[in-house]
Structures are given as structure tokens and as C-alpha cells.
A and B are shown apart, each in its own frame.
Chain A
Amino acid sequence: DGGITQSPKYLFRKEGQNVTLSCEQNLNHDAMYWYRQDPGQGLRLIYYSQIVNDFQKGDIAEGYSVSREKKESFPLTVTSAQKNPTAFYLCASSDRNQNTEAFFGQGTRLTVV
């Protein structure tokens, strides 16, 4: 089945540690996105990538880093510089030039203790 997979679903880390969240898609989409969601809030864009080896900062990129070495993969690293990393993280992908929707993964809930 085609889709977008985030892993793990739940992740716990100690404060000061970097952590990488996985996002893989087999939909052959060029564009991929990372969002952060805090309790009771909407989604805020962290980073997005329109094509392999290219990505742009979203509205809240500070403390995060990404890479896009392969079309199907867009991992997000939450660094120790991120002041409040505990949140729900969502990855999405979409076609680049088509009149189509974005598909979302089921999210990773990161808790930093």
C-alpha cells in the first residue's frame, strides 16, 4: 500500500540529547513537509522540501535540522538548541506540480524529560 510512515509513534529523550524522527513515503512525491503541533493548537511548519537535496525553513525552524538525500525520506533532527521540544510532530508529502492534496503520516509524539 502507498503511504507515508512516521516512526516511532512515541519517543522519549533526555534533555540535551539530539533526536531524529523518521519520515518515509512511497508515493513518489517530490515535496515533503514537517509540522509541529502543541496541545490545543494548529500545525506550524518547521521545514519543507520541494525536491531532493533542497529544503527551506518554515515558520519555526530554530532548533531543528533536516536532510533530503533521497526522494522518499525526509528525517527531522530535534537538536538540544530547541527550547521546548516536547510536541506532536507530523510529516506530510505531496506532488509538486499537480492539483492534488498532501498526505500526512500518523505523527510522532516526542517527550523530552
Chain B
Amino acid sequence: DAKTTQPPSMDCAEGRAANLPCNHSTISGNEYVYWYRQIHSQGPQYIIHGLKNNETNEMASLIITEDRKSSTLILPHATLRDTAVYYCIVRVVGFTTSGTYKYIFGTGTRLKVLA
């Protein structure tokens, strides 16, 4: 399974864009990039995912480099409620004979949005 690397922590001013990077240099062609966030002592919340095209939804944008070795999650206008740990994950879609259909989490980036 591909592994991900994220900076341990970041600060962002309220109202500004938060750009969270993720490296996944060993990603395979059929592995999607998923982003989740976790607010203290709660279950992780899905944000967005993508394969190779950039994606946008009501929460965030996901920019994936052309070689797919890294990606950036963008929260366009960060608020105090966006303070959380953000996880970048790669996941194989569908079942494989090796049974590697699973989500592997790293340690994430602790984002603090400052007033």
C-alpha cells in the first residue's frame, strides 16, 4: 500500500485559505487519494477524494499533481471550526487478490485556525 507523508502541524489565519500538503510518492495507478479530518475525540469526517483530476466540493478543493506523487487540500476560507487533524490517505478501489482493500491512515496534520 502507498504511504503518505504530511507535516505534523500548520497554522492558518481565520478567513484565509488553508493549504495542506501530502506526499504519496509510491502511489499506484488505481489508488485514490482521500482526505478526512478529525476533531478531538470524534470519528473522522470525510472531506474529499480524487484519482488524478482536481476535485472541488462544498467543503474543499483537492489538487493532485500530474505525476500523482503529491496533493494539496485547500480550505478556501478557513474558520475556527476547521481546527482539526487532517489525514491524507490512499485507498485501493475495489478488491484485489492480495486483500489490500483498506484505508491506511498516517499521523496527519494538526491544523490550527487562528482568530
Contacts and interface: CB of A to CB of B under 8 A. Distances in A.
Chain B associates with chain A: yes
A109 interface: yes
A102 B103 contact: yes
A92 B38 CA distance: 14
A27 to B, nearest CB: 13
Interface residues of A, number: 27
B44 interface: yes
Task: Report whether over half of chain A's contact residues are helix, strand or loop; otherwise say mixed.
Answer: strand
Contacts, number: 59
A56 B105 contact: no
Task: Report whether over half of chain B's contact residues are helix, strand or loop; otherwise say mixed.
Answer: loop
Interface residues of B, number: 23
Interface in A61-95: 88, 90, 92, 94
A13 interface: no
Given A97-B94, A102-B46, A33 B102 contact: yes
Contacts of B93: 97, 99
Contacts of B34: 101-102
Interface of B: 32, 34, 36, 41-46, 49, 87, 93-95, 99, 101-108
Q: Which 4 A-B pairs have the closest CB atoms?
A: A104-B43, A43-B105, A101-B46, A42-B107
